[in-house]
Structure 1
Amino acid sequence: MPRRDDFLVGAGVRGIAGDPLRVPVLRRYSPLFAVFLLSGLLTRAGFAGAARPDEADPVQPEPTAAPIPHSVATLLATDIPADAPQSRSWPALINARLQALVPIQRHTAAATERSLRLRVEAALSGVDGRVAVEIRDLERGEVLLARDADRALNPASNQKLITAIAAVELLGADYRFETKVLREGDALILRGEGDPDLHVRDLHRLAARVASEIELGGIRRLIIDDSVFDGRTLGPGFRSDGPGESYIAPSGALALDYGTVEITTSPGAYLRPAQIHLEPSGAAIELIADTRTEAGSLEVTTRPGADGRTIVEVVGAIPGGHAPISVRRRVADPGLVAGHNFAELLAAHSGGEPLPVARGRASADAALIATHQSATLITVSSSALRYSNNFTAEQILRTLAWRATGEPGTWAAGVELLDRFAARVSPTRADAQRFVNGSGLSHDGRLSPSFLVDVLSLAQRPGSPANALLASFAKAGGEGTLHGRTPHAGARVLAKTGTYAGASSLSGIVRASSDGRNLGFSVLVNGGELDRSRAAQDQVVAALLRL
């Protein structure tokens, strides 16, 4: 079975990303270094991005959202104000931003620093797979070291770097996803626009606003409108079989909790059934349980049921006195789950029964009642970049496709847009890259280290959206997938990991210690022993930290 350590859904453990940096007096630093410095200082002060992807980003603070999950019952008494909507003419804007991108310039350094070359060679000597590496001084555009740097290999989750950077450059760092409630006759319409970070708390915000704006007694039905994406929910490379692993969650324009359900099983009385809690719950999720409280183990799966329902099956045993066991699994129809949860919230305000839920599409005559806006794209992207959340990356890619074409967002249109982005940023290398989806969960995707560093170079441009996105990268030893890797480096290392089906990757930016240079790097390994590949990548980073 392929390794999938790096394809996570959910939260990590809050931790310290690194110590504040010591800044020599009277030395000038680049704007990119300021990001490293600010990241370290905020982490030290306790303002680092929280362990859960729905909390505020340290550089662009958002209104703090409570941790997920939250049940409908917990939230009913909370009064949460709604956000203001926004609208733009997107296809022309995205095309203009594409045309404004300037190709990255690079050249080979006159001589590779001998100490760097020796250390990198030593680091890679024990790797038995295919290896490709590039290290570049981002400020000067000098390639300090290259080893098969134009060789395109499976990047695994390093694909998320391309998706996220393309998104902030084309949609803007301040882009916010919207979820709207409209009214048409006796129907309310819940319209999703691809928010990767929508939770029950946010639907409560909408329900409270709707109840304050209209008389719910005149409403007879609830329509879910997820038509800004096409009907396909599993992307290229995503399997439909298996127990319903959360890292293969379905994408949809309207989705709660990353397209997943959390199943928590607690022991009951001895030899009696276990207690099971679902979050989110609702009429779109059906529980089938055959459990008992005694020594044993549990098997937890999800599968599609009739009419789009998600069937949750929990079978087995849990010992008495055991701590609750929580497992996250994908849902069958994310829009239907969101719709039924919203119907329950509305019912709590009206005092009646939940409205019947059906899928449809808002007409041009539908009246806007309320809008929920997500955190900025910079903040939302942290779940993909720090925690390697596949769902977030796919939502972002399909949103790009929708905004760029004005048609329902498809993976094909998203990949085509990434091709156009690559051709603008790295015209001499673009044709060798192969994009399959937004997350990198695929056997067929191919990227080269030289191309990855080209895209990372966009972060060197002062004031660029890519520069702002660095605040959402994982930091060495901090939250997310870099938690246990080169922990002493802290905010001097901002990077993205990747692990899937024999592929191991690490790409990012290191601030050198001697002169504050910002070094872009990418180390891709396909095949071989995973632990050796990761150790070699960490040793390459350690060599850069010593410069």
Structure 2
Amino acid sequence: MTPSVPEPPETPEPAQPDAELPVAEFAFPGPLRDRLVAAILDGRKTTTTALAVEYDIEGEALPEVGSRQRVVDSAGRAVAVIETVRVRLCPLGEVPWEHARDEGEGHEDVAQWRRGHERFWRSEEMTAALGAPLTVDDGTVVVLEEFRLVRRLDAAEPLPPPPPGASGASGAFGAAGVPGAAGAAGTPAGSDTRAPHVDATVPPSAPVRARRRDRGRGRAAMVIAAAAAALLALAAGSAVGAVVRPSASPAPAPRTSSPAATPTPTPAATRATPAAVVPASPIRDCTVDGPLADPGLGTAASVVLNAETGEVLLDRRGDVPAQTASVMKLATAAAALRVLGPDYRASTTVLRGPDAGTIVLRGGGDLTLSRLPSGQESVYPGAAHLDDLAAQVRQARAADPELAQTPVSRIIVDSSLFGGTTWEDTWPATERQAGWLSHITTLQVDADRADPTVFLSPRGEDPVGRAAEAFAAFFPGATIDRDGATGDGSALAEVSSPPVSELLAPMLVPSDNTLAEMLARLVAIESGEGNTLADVDPAIRSALEDLGLDTEGMTFADGSGMSRNNAVAPELVAALLQRADADEDGLGPIVGALPVAGESGTLAYSNRFTGDNQVARGKVRAKTGSITTAYTLAGFVDAEDGSRLIAVIFATDRVSEASRQPIDTLATAYYRCGNRLANSPG
């Protein structure tokens, strides 16, 4: 099932004159554009596709349903007005045939449609513009847009050229996310992907629609080169993502806030690195200097331990705190097990109100609570259901003589358990649209997904409101009061989340950011640090130090790893994993909740452990991480020689989606070396 923005009711003709509408350009000027425009004019073409990462890079919102644009041909003439009628996000591997067919290019199936698009995304023009190839896989999030032909502009006139020195429309990137370059070749055949070009020009007064930007004639080569460098620094996939986060995910936009201050740690804690570095020796003669030096790793850091003996087989910058991406979720999992315990459940309750007709809906931090009918599973197996909560309320009120004859007329909503901001400063807003993260509130249903059954389903702007409305539907005529005094009425009903031990896999395997933030906030509350996002750092720090791990100089800015302000040393992650592998301090459940290469979660995507690295499929069990400035992997390697390794790999700074391959190659090298791994100078 693909998440979508519902179609709006029929709207009246816009007051905005055609000449002031944004311009929509399909492909480069030339035969391909003219074929696509002809398909729009005769009704064969009603859909188009773009990479979600483009919106992250330019900091733009997704296309709005109901927005209109002028379509221009290769001569720069406005020939039609189109209107967006539907916008969806989904992984590239799940694009439906109906969408591909309606792009009007005559493709016989989705596979043929995808090959045409990927030829463009991986074309020499794209690679030359980026300075590096763009990685596109099943999990890459794409924006599927449907539109309708509003009218032809039969008296089409060429668009006027820009004034001297003007550079055309604003924005640094074109339809495929590449900088416009003078003399760029046409789009490869069979690809309806908007791209930069230098022919048809648009005056600054005529805004150009995102993803179909006109480069204009005046953009300097220096600006183009800077844009290419920016894309190298920003392009990423997931969290989403992101959004296009790795995993199936869309990439976060660049974060700009400054790093958070690190509280002074408890001096009694000691680094939990098991032993002194073992130097290269005759029996440890397997070196990985080549894979470690791959420029795709940016600034590489890695620690490898023998899981059984605790020996440090390899250490590269292992004591240097760095951005973690979603590997941060391992610290969150450990803190949750330590502070909350494996059996902890978050509860949603309904209380008696101040009068007989009023009830109080109180959120307890269970973001897995579902609005689906009982018996239907959401993305969270075993989640509680609103209809069960409502049924308990009706039963309790029917059994109470003071309430039985009075219908529920008002529902007071209490969402005060979590305080402060609901969104960290460095999290891109596009992560909500791409389905990687919701606003963090104490009351919400299905982690605020538009579709409770789809992992990457868009999230909204008011999770509390969505939950309250879904609950109120069980009490016809009842009003919702989000400001009323809740009082201390007795409980009428309660439902609870699955226990923490059962939430670890849903958090770690697909890399669920919302679950991670939920657990982190509950840890902060339970530990007494507070109930805001700012309290997550001291709460996780305290939990890890209680486990004997030294957190000096480190920052835990959030629970999911989405923040670029996180800074954790690889050796701490390795020590945490060593405790989990030995099932010390109750951390054992983490091991079984990790993705497995080639088999599950974010390690099962088609671009992970491919080619020569396939030998390590099924042998690497690890948490992945992906944000624009950090790609990471941390977990276990069951090596070829029978030894078991703990491996942590951080690739930071100048990295991109393509960094996943050298990370996999390095992990595979660890698999091949096993206990013979040499810690030779890097």
What band does the TM-score fall into relative to the shorter chain?
0.5 to 0.7
Residue 467 of structure 1, CA deviation: 0.6
Within the candidate set 480, 495, 503, 2:622 is matched to 495
Larger Rg: 2
Equivalent position SS for 2:416? coil
TM-score for both structures, normalised by structure 2 = 0.52
Residue 418 (structure 2) pairs with residue 229 (structure 1): yes
Aligned pairs for 1:425-464 (under 5 A) are: 425=547, 427=549, 429-462=550-583, 464=585
- Which residue of the partner structure matches residue 90 of structure 1? none
Q: 1:372 to 1:159 in 2, by over 3 A?
A: same
> What do the CA deviations read for 1:355-377 (whole angstroms, capped 9, x no partner)?
4343456433x111121111121
* Alignment partner of 1:120 is 2:305: no
**Mapping of 1:140-159 within 5 angstroms?**
140-159=309-328
CA distance in 2, matches of 1:222, 1:397: 29
Q: Which range moves more in the overlay, 530-539 or 473-482? A: 530-539
- Kept in 2, the 8 Å contact 1:453–1:522? The answer is yes
Name 1:387's counterpart in structure 2: 510
Give the 3-state SS of the residue equivalent to 1:164 in structure 2: helix
Structure 1 residue 358 corresponds to structure 2 residue 482: yes
From 453, 471, 478, the equivalent of 2:599 is 478
1:255-266 to 2 correspondence within 5 Å?
A: 255-262=444-451
Compute the displacement of 1:4 (Å): 8.6
- Determine whether 1:211 maps to 2:394: yes
- State how far apart, in whole Å, the 1-side matches of 2:312 and 2:455 are: 47
Letter in 1 for 2:421: R
Q: Which runs of 5+ in 2 are unaligned?
A: 1-52, 58-88, 95-265, 373-384, 399-403, 675-682
Report whether the alignment pairs 1:374 with 2:497.
Answer: yes
| Superposition deviation, residue 178 in structure 1 | 1.0
Partner letter of residue 593 of structure 2? Answer: S
Counterparts of residues 416-431 of structure 1 (less than 5 Å) = 416-425=538-547, 427=549, 429-431=550-552
Secondary structure, in 3 states, of the residue corresponding to 1:108?
coil
**RCO greater where, 1 or 2, for CA within 8 Å and sep 6 or more?**
1
Distance 2:416 2:92 in 1: 32
Which residue, 454, 458, 464 being the options, matches 1:335?
464
**1:125 counterpart letter in structure 2:** A
Decide whether the 8 Å contact of 2:321 with 2:570 is kept in 1.
yes
Alpha-carbon distance change, 343 to 11 in structure 1, aligned in 2, over 3 angstroms: farther
Distance 1:170 1:511, change over 3 A: farther
Any idea what SS the aligned residue of 1:375 has? Answer: coil
> What amino acid is aligned across from residue 331 of structure 1 in structure 2?
G
CA distance in 2, matches of 1:260, 1:112: 51
The letter of the residue matching 2:660 is R
What is the distance in 2 between the residues matched to 1:146 and 1:261?
44
CA distance in structure 2 between the partners assigned to 1:102 and 1:433 by the alignment = 14
Uncovered stretches (5+) of structure 1, i.e. residues with no partner: 15-97, 263-278, 281-324
In the other structure, the counterpart of 2:637 is 510
* Superposed displacement of residue 145, structure 1: 0.5
Q: In 2, distance between residues paired with 1:454 and 1:435?
A: 17
SS for the counterpart of 2:458 is strand
Give the secondary-structure state (helix, strand or coil) at the position aligned to 1:145: strand
Is 1:399 aligned to residue 522 of structure 2?
yes
Question: Residue 478 of structure 1 aligns to which amino acid in structure 2?
Answer: E
Shift of 1:496: 0.9
Secondary structure of residue in 1 paired with 2:322: coil
What does residue 545 of structure 1 align with? 671
More strand by share: 1
Q: Over residues 270-303 of structure 1, what are the superposed CA-to-partner deviations in whole Å (9 max), with x where a residue is unaligned?
A: xxxxxxxxx79xxxxxxxxxxxxxxxxxxxxxxx
AA partner of residue 310 (structure 2): G
Q: Which of 536, 554, 566 is 1:414 aligned to?
A: 536
Question: Do the aligned partners of residues 164 and 236 (structure 1) sit closer, same or farther apart at CA in structure 2, a change above 3 Å counting?
Answer: farther
Q: Deviations for 1:488-519, whole angstroms, at most 9, x for unmatched residues?
A: 6455322111111231111111223434x432
Alpha-carbon contact 2:90-2:456 (below 8 Å) kept: no
Structure 2 vs 1, CA of residues 460 and 240 (structure 1 numbering), >3 Å: closer, same or farther?
closer
Question: Measured at CA, do residues 178 and 518 of structure 1 come closer, stay the same or move farther in structure 2, by a change above 3 Å?
Answer: farther
Separation in structure 1 between the aligned mates of residue 468 and residue 90 of structure 2, nearest angstrom: 22
Percent identity of paired positions between Structure 1 and Structure 2: 25
- Measured in 2, the distance between the counterparts of 1:499 and 1:115 equals 35
Q: Within 5 Å, which residues of 2 pair with 1:72-87?
A: none
Between 230-239 and 448-457, report the one with greater CA deviation.
230-239
Deviations 1:441-463 (A, max 9, x none): 12221112111111212203336
Whole-angstrom CA distance in 1 between matches of 2:54 and 2:634: 21
Q: CA deviation at 1:434?
A: 1.4
User: Please, what is the CA RMSD of the aligned residues?
Assistant: 3.5
Describe the SS at the equivalent of 2:439.
Answer: coil
Residues 133 and 2 of structure 1, relative CA distance in 2, 3 Å threshold? farther
Say if 1:13 and 1:467 are closer, same or farther in 2 by CA, change over 3 A.
farther
SS at 2:427 equivalent: coil
- What is the CA-CA distance between 1:225 and the residue it aligns to? 1.2
Per-residue CA shift, 1:121-169, capped at 9, x if unaligned?
A: 2222322511111001233221110111112221111111111111112
Question: For 2:646, what is the secondary structure of its paired residue?
Answer: strand
Whether contact under 8 Å (1:236, 1:437) holds in the other structure is no
The two structures have a TM-score, normalised by structure 1, of 0.64
* Structure with higher helix content: 1
Alpha carbons of structure 1 residues 113 and 248: separation in structure 2 relative to 1, 3 Å: farther
Alpha-carbon contact 1:401-1:417 (below 8 Å) kept: yes
Q: For 1:213, give the aligned amino acid.
A: A
Could you tell me which amino acid in structure 2 is paired with residue 460 of structure 1?
D
